[in-house]
Amino acid sequence: MENENKTVTKKVKRDWWKRGKALDLWSIPHFLFGVLTALLPPLMGISLLTALSLTIILALLWEVYEKLVEIKETPLNSIFDVILPIVAFTCTSLALRIYPLPTDDLLVIANAVFVLYLFTNISGWLAYRRRHRDFYLH
């Protein structure tokens, strides 16, 4: 009888990947994308302007994709998702102009940033799919 009166409570896990109003954990891969694209000029010999253009175009296209697949986020968050890669690109490019690094060091940094970028994206997408199991059923 005593067991019947107990209420069952389920501990709710905090979803760290839940979208924020402006900045959230998704801001990390957006920022890392800008760092990666800033490493393209010294590693691949493309111009800074080409790499910056690529950064802006891909960031904008990603936001369009998110709208097409109906990922809900605030307008401010969408704006920050485009601004963050540009800020990261600018800061990284400036740092590399002030403190140029040998190609081998840049490759190590690029690989480390890429692994972190992949980890944060995969972690985020898995969390998103847990919340929205019907995401791929559109």
| 49-103 pLDDT, tens digit each | 999 999 999 999 999 998 998 888 888 989 999 999 999 999 999 999 999 999 9
Mean pLDDT to the nearest integer, 23-49: 95
Rounded to whole angstroms, the Cα distance separating 138 from 59 reads 23
| Statement: residue 121 has pLDDT above 60 | yes
Which residue has tokens 């998704």?
Answer: 26
Rounded to whole angstroms, the Cα distance separating 67 from 48 reads 29
Q: What does the DSSP assignment read for 122-136?
A: HHHHHHHHHH-TTGG
- What does pTM read for this prediction? 0.79
| Least confident range of 34-38, 82-86, 119-123 | 119-123
